[in-house]
A and B are shown apart, each in its own frame.
Chain A
Amino acid sequence: MQEATFLILTALAAGSQHGYGIITDVQQISERRVRLRARTLYTALERLRTDGLIEVDREEIVESRLRRYYRLTPTGAERLAEEADRMRSNAHVAMSRLEMSGGLATT
């Protein structure tokens, strides 16, 4: 799973959000490291929707513009949990090996 995809799913994990909300949230989650472009977001959302990981929650018209809210599907939540689990175990191995070699002695 690409980082952008992981971050988008994470942004939707706590509740539904609309497009721009996802972008600002992803920025926050990644500590300003990842700034999604509109096209990256929408191609990702389109793919995630056809894969059944997210779905449209509701639509609103704000200042005469369509605002579509997305949410995770149960499958999407499952996939995100699996991915987070995998990342945690990888990170754990990385840290313990660094400790073993003394690479983390200074921190």
Chain B
Amino acid sequence: MSDSTQLERRYQRLLAFYPKAFRREHEQEMLAVLIAGAAEGQRRPSPEEAIDLVSNAILMRLWQTFTKLFVRPYEVRHRRLLWGFRIVFGLVLLGVAMFALSYGSWWALWFLAGAAADFVSATASTRSPKASLRRDA
């Protein structure tokens, strides 16, 4: 095995620590730069270089995990907002139904049914974003 392919393999092994998305985008390029920067006949990465690459890769992964856990995507926040509105809207419907019932009006049942449907869809919409988050993880 020639020196350069050996060096390339060793660099590749270090780059394997990076997150998949970063590798897909930059691995080939970075490998080319690392090899272009190597000395003639160099067979292995220098220890500092290896530590630098691996620690950076680990930090990048940690950061990714952190953002995945604590930074909610826009859709989820939006659905949460919607959930608040649904609850309020449902309560208003319920209130109208109670008011109508106190007058003994039969159409109060329509409002009750509307409020029930609203609450059901509100709980469904809060369950689904969590499920989609789990799918992404």
The interface of chain A, by Cβ under 8 A from chain B, is: 18-20, 23, 37-39, 41-43, 45-46, 65-68
Contact A20 B36, CB 8 Å, known A38-B30, A39-B30, A65-B31: yes
Tally of B interface residues using CB under 8 Å: 17
Closest to B8 in A: A65
Chain B, 46-80, CB within 8 A of any chain A CB: 49, 52-53, 56, 60
| A39 and B29 contacting across the interface, CB-CB below 8 Å | no
Closest to B49 in A: A37
The interface of chain B, by Cβ under 8 A from chain A, is: 22, 25-26, 28-34, 36-37, 49, 52-53, 56, 60
Question: What's the nearest-Cβ distance from chain B to residue A9, in Å?
Answer: 18
Closest to A61 in B: B28
Q: A19-B32, A38-B37, A39-B56 are in contact. List 10 more A-B contacts (CB 8 A).
A: A19-B30, A19-B33, A20-B33, A20-B36, A20-B37, A23-B33, A37-B49, A42-B29, A65-B31, A68-B29
Contacts of A23 in B (CB 8 A): 33, 37
Tell me the interface secondary structure of chain B in the complex.
helix
Question: What's the nearest-Cβ distance from chain A to residue B102, in Å?
Answer: 59
CA distance A20 to B29 in the complex (A): 9
Tell me the interface secondary structure of chain A in the complex.
helix
Name the residue among B22, B29, B34, B52 with the largest chain A CB count within 10 angstroms.
Answer: B29
A–B Cβ pairs within 8 angstroms, 17 of them: A19-B30, A19-B33, A20-B33, A20-B37, A23-B33, A37-B49, A38-B30, A38-B37, A39-B53, A39-B56, A42-B30, A43-B60, A65-B31, A66-B28, A66-B29, A67-B29, A68-B29
CA distance A53 to B32 in the complex (A): 23
